[in-house]
Structure 1
């Protein structure tokens, strides 16, 4: 059996928050949007349909759990959920809080401007809020 290895780009661009039943929950290193990433810890998986049926159900559950916690923690207008993977092929699910007036509202977050680093205190506070809501 192949071991699970996190794609180096996900490792570089995100910070680990916690482990859920199936997935790593990670924070995108861009403070412009509250942006979480779920990465199922299964080797060599690129598509949701590549997961075993039980893992598909668990990923759906974890995605909804994280989306609800993010909406509750941020009061966002809309939660965007996507599993695109055109550049990073390893299956990962973006869960992004969007609010009217945020950077590039209502357009997509991808390819807009440059990432802005989190202030360490701001990041710690945000992470604590998310983990509390989970």
Structure 2
């Protein structure tokens, strides 16, 4: 079995949060938007259609679980869930908590404001809250 390799950019921009059956879940290190990444733990995937059918269904189940946890933890006004992959080709799903009046509302979050990393204690607090909701 080949060990899963996380794209270096995704690894650099995020913090480990949880390991689900299909996906590794990571917190984007940006205080502007509570934002999770879900990366299926298979190498060489770029598109949702690259997953086997049963894993497509598992991904949907995990996306719903992660979305519920993020919504419960943040009380957000809206969730944005997307698999874009224009900058990083490795298949990954963004689950972003949005708030009316946030730095990019109502537009997309990308490129609006420079990333602002979490203070360690705040990141750990959010990670612990989300881990409790997920596991």
TM-score tier, shorter chain, comes to: over 0.9
Kindly state the Cα deviation for residue 33 of structure 1 after the two structures are TM-superposed: 0.6
2:14 aligned with 1:14, yes or no?
A: yes
Match of 1:112, SS state, is coil
Q: Deviations over 1:66-100 (max 9, x none)?
A: 00110011110000001000110000000000011
Kindly state the Cα deviation for residue 3 of structure 1 after the two structures are TM-superposed: 3.8
Superposition pairs of residues 70-81 of structure 1, within 5 angstroms? 70-81=70-81
Q: Distance in 2 between matches of 1:121 and 1:19?
A: 21
Runs of 4+ in 1 over 3 A off after TM superposition: none
Kindly state the Cα deviation for residue 2 of structure 1 after the two structures are TM-superposed: 4.7
Q: Distance in 1 between matches of 2:4 and 2:123?
A: 27
2:61 aligned with 1:58, yes or no?
A: no
Q: Distance in 2 between matches of 1:76 and 1:113?
A: 19
Match of 2:102, SS state, is coil
Q: Distance in 1 between matches of 2:93 and 2:83?
A: 5
Kindly state the Cα deviation for residue 38 of structure 1 after the two structures are TM-superposed: 0.2
1:101 paired residue number:
101
Superposition RMSD in Å: 1.0
Q: Distance in 2 between matches of 1:107 and 1:59?
A: 26
Q: Give the number of equivalent residue pairs.
A: 134
